[in-house]
Structure 1
Amino acid sequence: MSSNADGAVVLSWGAGRTGQLGNGTTSDSLSPTAVTGLNAEAVTKLSAGGVSVENGFALALLKDGTVRAWGDNVAGQIGNGTLIDQTVPVMVASLTGIKDIAAGGTHALALTEGGRVFSWGDNAYGQLGHGTSGGERSKPAEISGLTGVKQIAAGADFSLALLTDGTVRAWGRGIHGQLGNGSRATSTAPCKVGLTDIVAIAAGAHHALALTTDDTVKSWGYNLHGQLGNSSTESSTVPVDVDWLEGVSEISTGAHHNYAKTSDSHVWGWGDNQYGQLLEGDETFDSDVSRTNRTAPVEIPRLEGVQFLDGGARHGVALTADAVFTWGDNSHGQLGHGTTVPGYGSVKIPNTSIRFIAAGRGGGATYVC
């Protein structure tokens, strides 16, 4: 990893229109650029969100339990009390003792060490979980009555929380069934998803995944692209089984596509493949196979030795022992290969020592540190 006088830096590349690269500009970058003022050694997690491939924002959780944010701030999702886009990281107001973060479309979540959840940003559909809808909050506020949380996830306009007892709560917009409670109604407060024995959750734009204690995967919500993985394109208001998958150790979502890693180190993908997100076909993603949506998981043989996966709006990123590998849409340089030509390959990062990666689930940017 490249370094400066302040130590190792967080790197970003891709779309920069709303300042989401954090480098003080609003320009796209086709190759890695340093995020201003963040020491990578102090960062424990990155999360990136947004509402389009051009507009995005990012969060960084620091070892001291505070959070930094930068990028699009149209709904106060930066959390610093303003509605002004931020081209460099700023401190999210009033947050301490944080252990997890999640960036959604235009809202954000933070989880405390004590299992409490704070939210801020857009609240058009009650995705902040405070019992109301409409408007926005430009500073974090605790979600009343939600305790015992171990993990959080944020979609485009809904939110998820995994509790220590293995159950899941959801709130926000439900038109596509993304709350998993058998309804398409909006919920402005956390409601119970019909699941037990869950160990991990992930949220796409309008769908969700959950990893079970028996290492299988459940899904629910929007399914136009096959992102539920149950061999159909029919949306579901309740959790359904993802076909074929067993022995799953990790799940991750893009906007409308998903990845899963199994205990034998194989990687699987399903859902939207319009931009080659599933790494099928030729290296230019121009063939029919390359752009065929998959309604059930398919193996991605090009990915070997993967330590961590993440899905962006229309691209994917994987961390291996010695490289960062990217593929899919490259319209804003989000693959980091120095061009806007779609394809796949490793990103050239000097002195590579990467621990965390994040792809803008709603925005065209990638982040590593």
Structure 2
Amino acid sequence: MRAHLLSTAVLPFLLASAAPAAAPAAPPFDTPARVAFLIDLSSGAVLLDKGADVRMPPASMAKMMTTDVAFELIDKGELPLNKMCTVRPETWAKWHGPQAGSTMFLSPNEQVSVENLLHGIVTLSGNDASVVLAECIAGTEPAFVNQMNDWAGRLGLKNSHFGTANGWPDNGVTYVTARDLATLARAEIEHHPKLYKQFYAQPSFTWGKTLGSGADIKQDNRNPILGKVAGADGLKTGHTEEAGYGFTGSAEQNGRRLIMVVAGLNSFNQRIEESVRLMQWGFNAWQSKPLFDKGANVGDAQVQLGSAASVPLVAENKIALTLPAGLGGGVKNMKIRYNGPLVAPIAKGAHVADLVVTTDTSTASVPLVAGDEVGRAGFFGRLWLGFKQLVGMA
């Protein structure tokens, strides 16, 4: 089957707005981060790509996968938030004390709800909380890790593998890429919006008691853009000696959401500075222009052996264009790409094509879905279609 590229002539009213001026340059951004990646979800445009496909250890950013597996089970009704999990003494012993990194300060044999463990993972980056939740869900951490890798494959993480529930160094078994981390962050935000809002962006969380006085232990969220970038609401930091300081973050302003990943920074403070600077650059140096509303008819695709000869292609979500701020550039080229003709039956809402938009500075591809259901033609319908093709009517 060959790829059909529908000419931009199908979309003349959009192309009329393209400016004939010289192509504007993409806004520059330099960072000491070994890896930096920034994507605009309103258009799908990649605004910065510095080593986005380089394998790297995620450190605690791996906990986003632990959280997403839990979110999926919760939304399916298979994991109640009020389910109580037991802190096994063996787990507590392994993940207790300064040598165990970030902790929720759990106690042996303590009963903790799934809800509180998720706060301990997301806000406090608790290594202990991650393993306790993994054991509560799957019985053992290795069994849960199998679920993590299975789910990573389903989400389309093409260059990642997980060996632990908390991202602890494991001699290279666990690795990710910045592009995969952004894909994972997007899945959490879009697939589980209520849980995302409930658990991310909490400024602090209190759990555990200090030795001696027994005072409550309150820990602040390490997210470096919370309170510093308008609309910041996630996601997860990470740090080990091997990985350096990293962060996968997101913020939304005026309906426009960005996801960023930085890794390999040298210090806690440098992570704050670079994370804030990159996210502010994404919002200030680029602007979003709407193209199609959600559900808008963008074009049509030919259908083979169907009850209809074509199917409308509609925008699955609102489609926008990302351009350098303050410049007059616009759309240079717009095409609908699909492998076709499409073969019936086709379900309404199925992803059957992509809209490829090329500007002066970037190319973005966004999904288009079938606007109607197209059944398979019956015997006489197929016979008539074959006759039309034979005589050149089709």
TM range (shorter): under 0.3
Larger radius of gyration: 2
Q: Higher helix proportion, which one? A: 2
Q: Higher strand proportion, which one? A: 1
Q: Which has the higher contact order (CA 8 A, sep 6+)?
A: 2
> Structure 2 length normalisation: TM-score?
0.23
> Structure 1 length normalisation: TM-score?
0.24
